[in-house]
Structure 1
Amino acid sequence: MGNHHQEPLISALLNEEDAPEIVAETTGFLPIETNWFDRLFISVVIWIALSLFWFRFMEPMGLSIWISNAIAAALAFIIIRKG
């Protein structure tokens, strides 16, 4: 077989004062851990979905796509900044 050395885990050797401090990260309202690029991607996907919804249902009623773009831009800002 092989010569396996029986060494204790490094965490077993640490004392409480040697243990690294756990810092609570601030979390946003998104239920997943994200970085800025993930939030940007989510914002772009929402922008596209909102635009498609707007073209199908709202624009035939006479509402301009610019309203949808303004809503999507505001949502993107909020998601990227606070998400």
Structure 2
Amino acid sequence: MASDSIKTPVPRQNGNGAPKRAVRPDGFLPIDTNLFDRIFIAVVVFVAIHLFWMRFVEPALSIYVATAISVVVGAIIIKRG
């Protein structure tokens, strides 16, 4: 029978039964990330900014300025990354 050979398309699913995303989310990070990945990247950037700050900028500006910058950058990475 001709109708037996025609199958309806089934959406692809990942292991937990949820459908897979067809396209990448619109973010500025060049990798596909979830919330935990973006939090981890934000923490790494936080540490990197502070190390750079303590080495080169500390005599001129307080470390609190680096903390404020790091929090803003981290929030942007977590929200839009």
Tell me the TM-score normalized by structure 2: 0.73
Runs of 5+ unmatched residues, structure 2: 13-20
Q: Choose which of 67, 70, 73 in structure 2 pairs with 1:69.
A: 67
Q: 1:70 to 1:18 in 2, by over 3 A?
A: same
Task: Point out the structure with max Rg over C-alpha.
Answer: 1
Q: Superposition pairs for residues 3-82 of structure 1, below 5 Å?
A: 15=7, 17-20=8-11, 23-60=22-59, 62-82=60-80
Shift of 1:25: 4.3
Shift of 1:20: 2.3
Measured in 2, the distance between the counterparts of 1:68 and 1:54 equals 7
Question: What SS is found at the alignment partner of 1:29?
Answer: coil
Runs of 5+ unmatched residues, structure 1: 1-12
- Give the aligned residue type for 1:18: P
Shift of 1:18: 1.8
Shift of 1:40: 0.5
Shift of 1:19: 4.1
Determine what percentage of the aligned residue pairs are the same residue: 46
